[in-house]
Chain A
Amino acid sequence: MRRVVGSVLMLFAVVAAVLGAGIAIVLGTDNRAETGPHEIETSAPVVVTSPEVFSWAGPTLTMRIDVDKDQQLFIGAANAVDIADYVGSTQRTEISSYNPPWSIGTRDVFGDAPLPAAPGQVDWWMAQSTETGSATISVKLPEQAFSLVVIAVGGGDLDGLQVTASYDIDGGFGIGLGLIGFAVGLGLFGWIAVQGRPLVREGELIEDEFEPDVREGV
């Protein structure tokens, strides 16, 4: 029984060590994982992410978008309900799925209406940036449903759009090292259990090894 428990503990230790090492290696000492640049094929003036793309909360997402150097562009992050209403009747490319490190699904949505207002005129952006050629925003992924939108401002389209994304997790590298340390301790504990050695504290009486001093006759 003790050996079974020990083996299970060592198995957990290996998993924790691999997980910890993975986190530490992927994030590095700057606590950041980066991917890109990746090109997204689109001829629409708007690219938007579905709420399902960001199904996790917590990390800080930094996204850099590059388009034609003369094209003015806007990047905004907001609640998915706001963005769905805002781009609802406009031609756009929707990023419908994402798997790390970089695998996306897209679909083109047709519409004939322009955006109902310039993006700078609405008040519900969590983060926004307007630049020419290249723009970057940083936003902490919130608990609420969330979307990102990229808009070609002043006409034009987003042909040749490239995305570079990074995730920042505060203290992520430390968490990875902590997991490795935890794995080492857990593994040691499991190894001792597998060896079958009893855990004896100094000064304790071990009944099995006690041999009475018996002398016959005088």
Chain B
Amino acid sequence: MRRLALAVVLAVLAAGCAIPHPKDSHGVTKVAASDAEVEQIYDRYRDYRKDALDLLDEQPLTAVESGAVLAIDTGALRVARRLLLTKAPDDTQDLQIRAVYAPRLDAYPLWFIVVVEDGVRDLTKVQIFQRQSSTSPWLLVASPETLPSTELPAFDSDTTDALMPADPFRQGQLVMSPQKAVNAYAATLNNAAPTEDPVVSEDSFVTQMRAVANKQRQIDGVTFSQQWTARPVQYVIRAADGGVLVFGTLARVDDYQIEEGRYIDWPEGSEQKAFLSGRLYSSGELHYYHQILVYIPPDGDDKPVVLGQYGGVVDGIGY
């Protein structure tokens, strides 16, 4: 009798998952992309990026990038075209995928995170690819870079290893909401000097950006001002320790007002030279985007900290 029962159980198990059974309990959702799909998407990205670097032309990038990251890369290529006067283009790239993290989402746009090692620049890129609709291509929309020594927090995941996204406007158990943290960074950077009790960390990103601004202020005969604003946060993921990792974008405007009778001759190959073309006699304005990767700790004494950034000039006008 026992043997018979065992035989039936084994027969049932042998039939495996072909036996009709209720679906998993994740409702109408989709994990944005599998590892194999990410490999294909990234191969396509590498090809287009190589073409863009080869030609020093942003046109190929429009097929694989979007938003602030496309604007930053377009600006970098424009500056590189200026440098081409003295140097040949360098299309070397060594981008190796180290990890893929995809959330389970119930509607488009779909997105996933890929951690990539940039062997040429010795940096780690924490990138987000997004598909806006079911018929649009996957585009790179965020690409903050960290030092290889920077450790990312462990990401929280569900029972199927899918990432757990979080609401950009919800504080929950955090020291502040993701959007507030990015707003706070913009406010901090609008102060030329450190304040007594900052709400975000006075980290290397803040220090570096202030140093750049202070250097511009020292140009003789020029009144320099800088304005930072935060863009709406779209991508937030939960960390295993209860904190979150935020992909934020900051817009920066550098304004130069030149005293009458003076002019600025920008150094050859500089972004100012590329965007403000030649000598600046009256005033000039440069627009930048900075994509930042912010870790917000769970409620406590710690403050939000920038783990990585990717930025550059995107537009300018001067006369």
Contact = CB atoms under 8 A, between A and B. Distances in A.
A171 interface: yes
Contact of B29 (A55, A60, A141, A145): A145
A121 to B, nearest CB: 7
B105 interface: yes
A172 B134 contact: no
Contact of A58 (B1, B11, B17, B29): B17
B22 A181 contact: no
Contacts of A174: 11, 15
A142 B24 CA distance: 9
Given A84-B28, A145-B27, A178-B8, A59 B134 contact: no
Nearest to A78: B134
B105 A182 contact: no
A86 interface: yes
B217 interface: no
Interface string B15-29: 111111111101111
Contacts of B12: 175, 178
A117 interface: yes
Contacts of B23: 54-57, 142-146
Interface string A139-164: 01111111000000000000000000
A169 interface: yes
B8 A179 contact: yes
Nearest to B108: A85
Contact of B24 (A121, A143, A171, A185): A143
B135 A121 contact: yes
Given A81-B30, A185-B4, A175 B15 contact: yes
B134 A124 contact: yes
Interface in A81-99: 81-86
B30 A145 contact: yes
A20 to B, nearest CB: 9
A81 B22 contact: no
B21 A57 contact: yes
Interface string A48-81: 0001001111111000000000000000000111
A170 interface: yes
B15 A171 contact: yes
Interface string A112-135: 000011000110100000000000
Interface in B14-66: 14-24, 26-31
A40 to B, nearest CB: 22
**Residue in B14, B17, B31 whose Cβ sees the most chain A Cβ within 10 Å:** B17
A189 interface: yes
B20 A144 contact: no
A53 to B, nearest CB: 12
B27 A116 contact: no
Given A85-B134, A169-B15, A178-B8, A59 B108 contact: no
Contact of A56 (B7, B11, B20): B20
A151 B236 CA distance: 37
**Residue in B5, B30, B105 whose Cβ sees the most chain A Cβ within 10 Å:** B30
A111 B130 CA distance: 26
A194 to B, nearest CB: 15
B133 interface: yes
Given A58-B20, A116-B134, A179-B8, A185 B1 contact: yes
A81 B17 contact: no
A26 to B, nearest CB: 12
Interface of A: 51, 54-60, 79-86, 116-117, 121-122, 124, 140-146, 167, 169-172, 174-175, 178-179, 181-182, 185-186, 188-189
22 contacts: A56-B22, A56-B23, A58-B20, A59-B20, A82-B30, A84-B28, A117-B135, A143-B24, A144-B30, A169-B15, A169-B18, A170-B15, A171-B11, A175-B11, A175-B12, A178-B11, A179-B8, A181-B4, A181-B7, A182-B4, A182-B5, A185-B4
Given A81-B28, A81-B106, A143-B24, 9 more contacts: A54-B23, A56-B20, A121-B135, A167-B20, A170-B15, A170-B18, A179-B8, A181-B4, A186-B1
